[in-house]
Structure 1
Amino acid sequence: MSFTSSLVHDFVKRLEHGQPTENTTRHAEIPWFDIGDASDRELLVTHSSPCGFTLGTGASIYTDVLIPALTAARREVILVTCFWAGSATLSALHDALVKLAAHRRALLNDARSRGTTPTPPLRVRVCFSSRSLLQKLLHPQSRDGYIYPPSSWQAALGLPDPVLLESAAIQLQAKSLFLLPFSVMHPKFVIVDRQRAFIPSCNVSWEPWLEGCVEVTGPAVSGLLSFYSRTWEPEHGGVQPPLERNHLLEPPAFDVRMAGLALVASAAHRRAALLPESPSPIPTLLLPSSCHRNPHFRPFPWQKDPKPPGTPLNVALLALLDGARRSIYVQTPNLTCQAVLRAVLSALQRGVDVDIVTSRNLMLLEQLVTAGTTTSWCLRSLLRRFRKSERSKPESLPAEMELGHVPLGRLRISYFRPRPSLKMRTHTKEEEPVHSHLKLIMVDDKYTVLGSGNLDRASWYTSQELGILFDSTDLANTVGTEVDCVLADRLELVFDSAAL
């Protein structure tokens, strides 16, 4: 299967036009992909086999999907997140690593007693950007980041005793990367044995927010591995060294759930298989967005809003919004990027229906600092411009022009809200998400974008982000159905132009 040619052509053309030409500028972007280079282009314009889609809170997704996947790894685990904090998620991750270490020690001891080939080491990389305000203010301002000494793992990061991990041949490294003033590394993903990849929206943190996670295999995993290497291990030149296999035997997979991992239940938790009847990989765009240290603020009202950096994620999203013909569905925690709002208004004026789901009063201070505005203010501005477009449309047209008139599309705006308190169904309390942190865009019921990128100014101008775009009607239908089920009774409708 191949992409709709017009989408790829538009994406590549826009990306080539928007990429910087000076080597100094390219070097400053973390990471850098050259769309003019065929090998780099193949990492972005690729295929994948989506396996599953999960909704829930961060803790429920980690305990049900991500932790079982990473503890089943035989050779390597790469865990990248933005925020790292003490939480039920971190406690579950700690306990799972302890259980995994015990399992591996038993294998090593058995091999020694039998005189057989030992279990090979398990390479684990933990990467994050933010742990606290003080940590960010004092963080080394180098793209090499900061590697935490093992002596700090337990107290600072909540990880197991390094002696315990070393005794189980678990080679763990913990690293952080942050550049002032706002260049946070915002992607979240897990790569297991370079074969399976998970792209969640959740951090390792305490917030009971609505999150999503997609699992993929196939060629797109290679692009994701390159994205990791260029960001977190640049000393390898952007190419991850191969995993040495030699004569070592692969250890048996370890199912941490059978070892008693405590699951965190969520009233919003759902899992769905993706494309079970389609064995062929589907067209996929891997969409990195480099971090930028210059936020390009324009604080005065007479200053024109600057054009967003031409990153693959920014370019692809604008190409999708500009090319939409029937419908746009947007679910984002915050919506403060003016380029996105202009593209949404333009789509409405072309007759495209737009459905927006966002959160009310989520991270207000962060919005004001990074954008100088808030989601609520931006939505009110969008509504004013939409109503102005309605008033300016002619009430009647000459017969010869009637066929060429395009009515405005339908605009719906809703805020996510938690359901009323639910009675406990079991001895374990179910987490009810209090905000939506899911990042999802669907266009024309065909294109689906998931990942870390919000539609706010921080994600579009300064933060490093990661998105993945799927070209599949079946996948879009499945994702849309699951999201609709979770959002039932969790939306507060604030505007619907069809009701006017």
Structure 2
Amino acid sequence: MRTLQLPIVTAMLLLAARYVIALPVSIPQTPYPQASPSNYESVFPRALSPKARHVFDAVMQTAKKYPERLTSPIQYLPTAGRVLGFSFQHSPNDTLCEEFITNYAVKAQEEVVLETFLYDRKSLCARQMADAVRTLDAKAKASGTRIRVYILVDTAGLLAFIGSSRPGTSGVVNALFKYYKLAPEALGLPRVRDVPNLDLRVKTFHRWPLGALHSKTLAVDGRLASIGSKNIDTETGLDMLIGLEGPIAQSVRADFFQSWNEPAPVLRTPAPHTTSDMVPMVVAANPYYGPFLGPPEDTPQNVAWKAAMDAATHKAFIMTPNFSTDSGREMILRTLRRGVKVDLVELYGLDLPQFVFPPGQSDGSNMLAMLRLFNAIGNDTTLRSRLRVCWYMSKRFPVGAKPSSDDWTHVKYMSIDDEFAIVGSGNQDAQSWYHSQEFNILIDDAAITRQINQALDGVHRSFDPCHHV
């Protein structure tokens, strides 16, 4: 996992003093037509299951109480879609980018919008994206139209690859501000003049010091979308992407344009409608928050996670690179005390700087956070019997291998009673809970949830045997 390099750390230290006090969250609002509250659920192809309904109600109550914490207008939170496919793969030999990003992008008739935390111009994924842009230019020329290709990348994520992105000295300085227009070639994309049939634009975004854009989403013509854990890079962990079709793509698009900080252009083709073969979905996103102190606790993402665990009656499964928040610990304890079994798989030897967060946000490293969790359980053997905490172990390594920081998961996933799943970009750490902009969705379908669980079981052996604290 790529650690923060010197340019990022230096910039954070220089700007920390300015933002260390609590400031209100303020997200620019892109104008969208507002739906009537009575019509919010009309997008669902069927009634929500009771447990998903519990989560949806919590998300909507939070959205109505704190509209400034939304990353898109409220009517885009309830949605629906068709799952076109999903995959768990280990980099660097994965095909996730080709399957769920570039293959979708080249289908565009009008628009491609992509947001990511990391963008390494030297990665295979970046080269595939550059090829897709050239393909779209030829397609637009042949049809006599123009296609928009907008890419939004986190500033810290860009600076992490400063040696390969090379935005130039002035570019580095300007990129420290909230929005900065970047030349596409800085990301290894064609120059604007070389793709004259496209409206190709790149922006960076970050609210210093901690307000990162951590979402990883793609929307094509407001009809196709993909979300998950995959950045435009070649990190060597396990990643997941899921391909989607239908109204969910409109929700992804709305989230993008609010972050892009410009009104969304009107699409020529009509918005997709819900059909009977789609499944209900709920957007559970998180807003960025830059200051160290005073972050909001109740956001759609956070209340969705807590409500999902509160809805569990038999078992809950979580896979995350890191699990290290005070709120997450209390969420686990509440679930165990209700008689629910909890399986937690996380990364061994995570070296991200969790200790920079103040008390009340982070429990520190994964190891320290788990020690605090088990200390809170104490000698209660009943609670201990309901909890399995295992370091991630992939099936790439032989049975009997020990956990290693070289064998890690980047997947962010929660499954409740094999009935519904929450998947997206949010980690179970202080950065994702309190500071990063994230995009996750709840998929209310037991069959799809079981398929995802089975696919995930096929790539890891974290429970056989379980290496734990």
Residue of structure 2 aligned with 1:201, choices 229, 234, 253: 229
Match of 1:44 among 73, 77, 84: 77
Structure 1 position 92 matched with structure 2 position 83: no
TM-score of the two chains, using structure 1 as the length reference: 0.72
Distance 1:47 1:99, change over 3 A: closer
| Structure 1 segments (4+ residues) deviating >6 Å | 134-137
Rate the CA distance shift 1:172–1:473 in 2: closer, same or farther, 3 A: same
Find the counterpart in structure 2 of residue 283 from structure 1: 280
2:409 is matched by which residue type in structure 1? S
Task: From the superposition, tell whether residues 97 and 88 of structure 1 become closer, same or farther in structure 2 (CA, over 3 Å).
Answer: same
Q: Which residue is 2:39 aligned to?
A: none
> Equivalent residue for 1:170?
198
Match of 2:430 in 1: 457
In structure 2, relative to structure 1, the CA distance for the partners of 1:18 and 1:2 (3 Å cut) is closer
Aligned pair in 2 of structure 1 residues 30, 491: CA closer, same or farther (>3 Å)? Answer: farther
How big is the shift at 1:10? 5.7
Indicate how the Cα distance of structure 1 residues 245 and 55 shifts in structure 2: closer, same or farther if over 3 A, else same: closer
Indicate the SS of the match to 2:321: coil
2:457 counterpart of 1:469: no
Q: Which has the larger radius of gyration?
A: 1
1:378 aligns with 2:369: yes
For the residue of structure 1 that corresponds to 2:95, the secondary structure is helix
Rounded to whole Å, the distance in 1 between the matches of 2:135 and 2:299 is: 41
Whole-angstrom distance in 1 between the partners of 2:269 and 2:82: 26
1:153 is matched with which residue? 184
Following TM superposition, by how much is the alpha carbon of 1:97 offset from its aligned partner in structure 2, in angstroms? 2.9
Partner of 1:319: 307
Alignment-mate amino acid for residue 163 of structure 1: R
Q: Is the 8 A contact 1:137 1:180 kept in 2?
A: no
Q: What is the CA–CA distance in structure 2 between the aligned matches of 1:213 and 1:229, rounded to whole Å? A: 21
User: Given the superposition, is the C-alpha separation of residues 381 and 492 from structure 1 closer, same or farther in structure 2, using an over 3 Å criterion?
Assistant: farther
Deviation at 1:369, TM superposition (A): 2.6
Q: How many Å apart are 1:74 and its aligned residue?
A: 2.0
State whether residues 349 and 408 of structure 1, in contact with CA within 8 Å, keep that contact through their aligned partners in structure 2. no
Of the candidates 73, 80, 83, which is equivalent to residue 115 of structure 2?
80
Q: Which residue in the other structure is 1:265 paired with?
A: none
The two structures have a TM-score, normalised by structure 2, of 0.77
2:417 to 444, 463, 466: 444
Deviation at 1:350, TM superposition (A): 1.6
CA contact (8 A) 2:108 2:136 kept: no
Tell me the equivalent position of 1:131.
158
- Over 3 Å counting, the alpha-carbon distance change for 1:329 and 1:128 in structure 2 is same
| 1:429 equivalent in structure 2 | none
Helix, strand or coil at the partner of 2:231: coil
Give 1:441 deviation, angstroms. 0.1
Q: Which runs of 5+ in 2 are unaligned?
A: 1-45, 399-405
Offset at residue 334 of structure 1 (A): 0.7
Question: Structure 2 CA distance, aligned partners of 1:319 and 1:450?
Answer: 15
The CA deviation at 1:217 is 1.5
Alignment map for 1:408-419 (pairs within 5 Å): 410-419=386-395
Contact 1:332/1:436 (8 A) holds in 2: yes
* C-alpha spacing 1:491/1:207, structure 2 compared with 1 (3 Å): farther
CA distance in 1, matches of 2:465, 2:320: 15
Offset, 1:64: 3.0
Shift of the 421–375 alpha-carbon distance from structure 1 to 2, 3 Å rule, reads closer
CA contact (8 A) 1:415 1:491 kept: no
CA deviations 1:67-103 (Å, max 9, x no partner) are 1111222221111111111322212222343355456
SS in 1 for 2:259: helix
Partner residue of 1:368? 355
| Mapped contact 1:335–1:455 kept (Cα < 8 A) | yes
Establish whether residue 243 from structure 1 lines up as the match of residue 291 from structure 2: no
The answer to whether the Cα contact below 8 Å between 1:75 and 1:121 also exists between their aligned partners in 2 is: yes
CA distance in 2, matches of 1:360, 1:366: 14
Residue 368 of structure 1 deviates from its aligned partner by 2.7
What are the equivalent positions in structure 2 for 1:480-491 lying under 5 Å apart?
480-488=453-461
- The 5-angstrom pairing of residues 369-408 of structure 1 reads 369-370=356-357, 371=362, 373-390=364-381
- CA deviations 1:238-277 (Å, max 9, x no partner) are xx2213479xxxxxxxxxxxxxxxxxxxxxxxxxxxxxxx
Structure 1 residues 28-47: Cα deviation after superposition (integer angstroms, max 9, x where no partner): x57364xxxxxx2x321222
What is the correspondence of 1:417-432 to structure 2 with a 5 Å cutoff? 417-419=393-395
Q: How many residues align?
A: 397
Uncovered stretches (5+) of structure 1, i.e. residues with no partner? 34-39, 108-117, 247-277, 298-305, 394-406, 423-432
